[in-house]
Structure 1
Amino acid sequence: MSAAPLSEHVAKFRTEYRRAEPGRHYLGWAHFAFTSLGSLSVITFALSRLSGVRPLEWLTVPVSFLLANVAEYFGHRGPMHHRTKGLGLVYRRHTQQHHHFFTHEAMAFESSHDFRMVLFPPVLLLFFLGAIATPLGALFFALASPNVGWLFVATAMGYFLSYEWLHFCYHLPAEHVLARLPGMASLRRHHTVHHDLRRMGHFNFNITFPLCDWLLGTSWKPEPRPTEAALPVGRETGL
């Protein structure tokens, strides 16, 4: 899928990774379809259960969206980039594998076989639904109203799917039609900066919409150039 030349480091890492974890029976498009259709099925079912939603109940959608954005941010900034007891596999797969398989200079897939380095393993869809969306949805169902519970489930699964789809688009070749959708260029740049190994543990932790990065000051921006000839440098203190 990508014809861009790879650096020696990335080419070597990808070769060694594929040799260690060949995944002969892995089908990238089947993985993508499972994630997409599974999530859309849950969202459709949850929305079909709504009845006479009151104006106040619709607030569940933006509130759930913001909570998901916060969870995305701290989950990424925390265990995905720092060794945490009991979550070592998360750190290994993200920091030690994903960030070396894709760097800011080599962001694109080479084939559908590489989808597994971007999409969450299929079991995580079941985990997210069974351990997060369903229990919290049931709690809101009981404490607030059935509509609030179903709206939470639909929004949570919608956010999960937007994470997967957007992250997928960030790793498409730059000339791909999806990579050129309105607004996508800005989001891709935001994520590409995060794949710079010098900055990955310090900046641009939101994968979907960089709300928490803006609010908490972790959105990387080059500092103003002192002169016309000077190159822009980032806020790299401590990197």
Structure 2
Amino acid sequence: MIEHAAIQRYREHYRATEIPHGYRPLGHLLFTFGGGLLAFATCLWLVDGLRPVELLAVPAAFLYANFAEYVGHRWPMHRPFRGLGLIYKRHAGQHHRFFTDQAMPFDGLRDLRAVLFPPSLVLFFFGGFGIPAWWALDYFFGSNVAWLFIATAIAYYLNYEFLHTAYHLPAAHSIARIPLVRRLKWLHQTHHDPRQMAHANFNISYPLGDWLCGTLRRRPLAGAEQRPATQATGEKASR
């Protein structure tokens, strides 16, 4: 009870100080999934005269995206690096205080501000990394490979956002009851134990990177229910 009261106090503080008055959660969802699907369809539409060998860009992009998800989550999101402090603050200092393994669901749609990537970061990452990747792939392998690679990266991102949002839905929600979502949510919930968040289960989607790097944890640590409230709310992570 003490832990949940502390989490609720932080959530109220976050809503008052971090969520803009004009924030529109449905607009955020539309930007993420509507805009993402439009960009994905555009990339596929630009593919022309596809050769079977060029389809190898799809698994290559999937593996690259999974590795990038793992690296980005394990280090910049959980360890402070110069120039990346905003990412660390938003994730370790805010997201992990808003959600713990003992309090995973959000309370209302406005809480999506603490779940989905903000549009500014989406545009930054896809603009800063997607455009150079497209140019390099187009130069060395041709435009079809470049468009398929970017399309797969966008699809992976949409899959990431869908799964991450599903993990933070109420347990009774129909999406949360999908068997695959339930299995993957268990891994993510273990990651939200403040004692494990900097050490285990960094893949949000499919735990390939965790499996390869030895950071996959299928079981929570014992004694979670006896954690001090300050540790449970992740206050140490924000310091």
Rounded to whole Å, the distance in 1 between the matches of 2:181 and 2:218 is: 18
Calculate percent identity across the aligned residue pairs. Answer: 46
Name the TM-score, length of structure 2 as normaliser: 0.88
TM-score (norm: length of structure 1): 0.88
Q: CA separation of 1:199/1:40 partners in 2, compared to 1, >3 Å: closer, same or farther?
A: same
Deviations 1:98-143 (A, max 9, x none): 0010111111110111001000011122223211222211211121
Other-structure match for 1:221: 218
Find the counterpart in structure 1 of residue 233 from structure 2: none
Q: Residue 196 of structure 2 corresponds to which residue in structure 1?
A: 199
Structure 2 distance, partners of 1:22, 1:155, is 31
**Is 1:83 matched with 2:80?**
yes
> What is the rounded CA distance, in whole Å, between the counterparts of 1:106 and 1:232 in structure 2?
17
Question: Take 1:22 and 1:68, find their aligned partners in 2: how far apart are those partners?
Answer: 29
Counterparts of 1:114 and 1:15, CA distance in 2:
10
RMSD, aligned CA: 2.0
- Given residue 62 of structure 1, which amino acid in structure 2 is its aligned partner? P
Measure, in 2, the Cα distance between the counterparts of 1:161 and 1:64.
Answer: 14
**Structure 1 residues 29 and 103, CA gap change in structure 2 (3 angstroms):** same
The equivalent of 1:115 in structure 2 is: 112
Distance in structure 2 (CA, Å) of the matches to 1:104 and 1:213: 19
State the 4+ residue runs in structure 1 displaced beyond 4 angstroms: 231-234
| Mapped pair 1:13 → 2:10 | yes
| 8 A Cα contact 2:19 2:113, kept in partner | no
Shift of 1:22: 4.4
For 2:195, give the aligned amino acid: R
Letter in 2 for 1:194: H
CA distance in structure 2 between the partners assigned to 1:232 and 1:114 by the alignment = 29
Q: Which moved more, 1:36-45 or 1:15-24?
A: 15-24
- Matches of residues 138-153 of structure 1 in structure 2 within 5 Å? 138-153=135-150
- Structure ranking higher on relative contact order (CA contacts 8 Å, 6+ apart): 2
Q: 1:11 & 1:233 partners in 2: Cα distance? A: 22
Tell me the alpha carbon deviations over residues 1-40 of structure 1, each in whole angstroms, 9 at most, x when there is no partner: xxxx970220111112222234211111110111111111
Q: What SS does the aligned partner of 1:80 have?
A: coil
Distance across 2 between alignment mates of 1:120 and 1:60 = 25
Counterpart selection for 1:40 from 37, 42, 45: 37
Aligned counterparts, 1:92-111, within 5 A: 92-111=89-108
Residue identity matched to 2:99: F
Matching residue of 2:153? 156
Asked if 1:55 corresponds to 2:52, the answer is yes
Match of 1:226? none
Task: Read off the aligned partner of 2:95 and give its amino acid letter.
Answer: H
- Cα deviation, 1:172-228, whole Å, max 9, x if unaligned, reads 0011011112311111101000111011000000001110111111111349xxxxx
Task: Say which is worse superposed, 67-76 or 133-142, in terms of deviation.
Answer: 133-142
Bigger share in helix:
2
Which runs of no fewer than 5 residues in structure 2 stay unpaired?
Answer: 225-239
* Contact kept in structure 2, 1:83 and 1:91, CA below 8 Å: yes
Could you say what secondary structure the match of 1:218 adopts? Answer: coil
Q: 1:69, 1:205 → 2: CA distance?
A: 10
In the comparison of the two structures, how many residue pairs are matched? 224
Contact kept? 1:28, 1:113, Cα under 8 Å: yes
Structure 1 gaps, min length 5? 224-230, 235-239
Q: Secondary structure at the match of 2:176?
A: helix
> What is the CA–CA distance in structure 1 between the aligned matches of 2:19 and 2:53, rounded to whole Å?
51
